[in-house]
Amino acid sequence: QVQLVESGGGLVKPGGSLRLSCAASGFTFSDYYMSWIRQAPGKGLEWVSYISTSTTIYYADSVKGRFTISRDNAKNSLYLQMNSLRPEDTAVYFCARDGWDAYYFDYWGQGTLVTVSS
């Protein structure tokens, strides 16, 4: 069965950095687009970043220039390097698999909480 397990969240000071990881299993990771979506406490969902099976990458304007998405198909892993963190980046970050050749999200991890506070 498809499993996505995020890790790497925690408490970080404004201006700090954090690297999130997502371990995938139960499917051929290299065949699928992947995304990160976040949810601030008590708020709705916000798409953050997308990576294709090749080199296409997109970012939300709110994180462009600060966050970097990457993947390692040999390790079945997705990453999100987050730099210059701001209090408004505080959220649960979900890793999600995109639908086959599409951009909806058919499987989600349970999320990892990132708190940016001094």
Partner 1 sequence: EIVLTQSPGTLSLSPGERATLSCRASQSVSRNFLAWYQQKSGQAPRLLIYDASSRATGIPDRFSGSASGTDFTLTINRLEPEDFAVYYCQQYGSSPWTFGQGTNVEIK
Distance of alpha carbon 53 from its chain centroid, rounded?
15
Closer to partner 1 at the Cβ: 46 or 90?
46
74 vs 102, beta carbon nearer partner 1: 102
Tokens at 94, concatenated: 């979900």
Type of residue at 51? I
Counting contacts by CB under 8 A, is residue 99 touching partner 1? Answer: yes
For residues 13 and 64, which CB has a smaller minimum distance to partner 1 in the complex?
A: 64
In whole angstroms, what is the distance from residue 42 CA to residue 90 CA?
A: 11
- Which position among 1, 41, 102, 118 is part of the footprint of partner 1 (CB under 8 A)? 102
Kindly tell me which residue out of 54, 61, 65, 74 binds partner 1, with binding defined by CB under 8 A.
61
Looking at 23, 58, 86, 113, which residue binds partner 1 (CB under 8 A)?
Answer: 58
Nearest CA-CA partner of 34 in 83, 82, 79, 81: 79
Residues 51, 33: contact at Cβ < 8 Å? yes
Q: Would you tell me which residues interact with partner 1 (CB under 8 A)?
A: 35, 44-47, 50, 58, 60-61, 94, 99, 102-111
